Structures are given as C-alpha cells and as structure tokens.
Homo-oligomer: A and B are copies of this chain.
Amino acid sequence: MRSRKRSDGPSQTAGDGETAEAEPDGGRDWRKRRTRRALINAALALLEGERSFSSLSLREVARGARITPAAFYRHFSGMEELGHALIEDSFESLHEMMRKARAGGLPSTRMIRASVKVFLDHVGAHRAHFSFIAKERFSGSTVIRVAIRKEVRLWVGELAVDLSRFPALGKFSAEDLQMLAGLMVNVVVAASELVLDTPPKDKEALTRIYRHAEKQMRLVMLGAGAWDSSRSSG
C-alpha cells in the first residue's frame, strides 16, 4: 500500500469494523491495528469450521494473517490474550444488536416473532463470532469461560431490566425477572446453536428453527402471564 500522507496528526480512531478505513492513515499505527485485525479475523475464520480455539496454534493464526510467528508477539502476549480479544470482538457484535433491538421497542406478545427473527438473523450474519462463543462457552479455558459467562449474565440482566418496564410483568419480583430473562435467553441461545449448525442456504431448515424458537418463546410468555412471584418461593 502507498502511504497517503495526511498531516492530521497521529490518528486516534476508536471505531473499527472489519473494513473500516474512514480515516486511513497509512502510518505505523494504522498498519499495526490493521495487522491486529488480520490476526483476529484469521482466528475467527479458522474457528468458523469445526475447530475449537484451544486447538488453534499460534503459528497457524500468524500464517492466516500472513505474518511470521514471531511478529504475533508484537500484538498479543500469546494465544490467551488473543482469546480475550475474540470475546470482546464477538460480544461487541451482540451489544450492537441489543441496542438496535431495544430501539425497536419492548418485547410484547405480538413482538415475539420479530424479536426472535432479529436475534437469529443477527447470529446467522455473524456466524464466526457466535460460533466462537458457543464453542468456548463450555470448552474454553477457565478465564475465557468466566469472561463469556460474565457477558451472558450482563445480557440477561439487561433483558430483565427491559422486561421490568413491561406492565404485564408487574407481578414479577426482581429475582423472578432474572429467572424469566434467563429462560428467554436459553431459548434463543439453544436456537442459535442450531442455526450455526445449519448451512445458510438451507432456508427451510432455518425457518423450522425460527418457528420452533418462536413457539417456545410464546409458551414461556404464556407461563409468565400465569406466574405469581408471591407463591414462587416455596
């Protein structure tokens, strides 16, 4: 790449998508961030198949990013640090989706289908990220599992807050809202895992998974409607 010198000073760009170069500098900083991205993307690409993170080798990832193994260490202290970067990258995608979904309005009975679709579409559109999360959720090293669990708990908590604003759920105690949110997250997580195991082209199978999850969600909502927190402690 030729360097396009723009003396805007040292660029301090924070946002970066996969191809974002709204402010390409061509400088040393920019090149470094670019290689870091290449490493993360190389790892995600390797993980999109049936490989698990713990089975990836440092050399393999470096190869995928077209740098020598030694250069890997200019970006991460080792594979574990790369793992953390992958978690961050993956959940950023999830948070973004949550933000969008929340902007669309609170879940209600008639919104179940739409919510399930939004979420599962997002999973299908970010297979590598969610495939990584699904695999490492139980298989990863302790630190990685703990990091994922923390993010999931945060997510459940956010959903519980959203639900609390929903008048029909006024009967729910704070604890029971967490329980309900956990159940709803279970439903979409289980469906996500099926989505990840279905080829994107198999629309029919995907539709079946969507409908299944939607039904489960609706049944859960029916249960929530009949729930009475004051009786739930026995």
Measured CB to CB, the residues of A under 8 A from B are: 50-52, 54-55, 134-142, 145, 149, 176, 179-180, 182-183, 186-187, 190, 193, 197, 212, 215-216, 218-227, 232
Contact = CB atoms under 8 A, between A and B. Distances in A.
Nearest to A143: B50
Most interface-central of A137, A176, A183, A218 (chain B CB within 10 A):
A183
Q: Name the prevailing secondary structure of the A interface residues.
A: helix
Copies in the complex: 2
A145 B197 contact: yes
A186 B190 contact: yes
Contact of A55 (B55, B176, B216): B55
A42 to B, nearest CB: 19
Given A179-B212, A222-B227, 17 more contacts: A50-B140, A50-B142, A52-B52, A52-B55, A135-B138, A138-B193, A145-B197, A149-B197, A179-B219, A180-B219, A182-B212, A183-B216, A183-B220, A219-B220, A219-B223, A220-B220, A223-B223
Nearest to A215: B179
Contact of A226 (B183, B190, B222): B222
A139 B52 contact: yes
Given A54-B52, A139-B135, A186-B190, A227 B216 contact: no
A225 B218 CA distance: 13
A56 to B, nearest CB: 10
A227 B51 CA distance: 41
Contacts of A138: 134-135, 137-139, 193
B180 A50 contact: no
B183 A219 contact: yes
Nearest to A55: B54
Nearest to A137: B138
Contacts of A51: 54
A212 B182 CA distance: 10
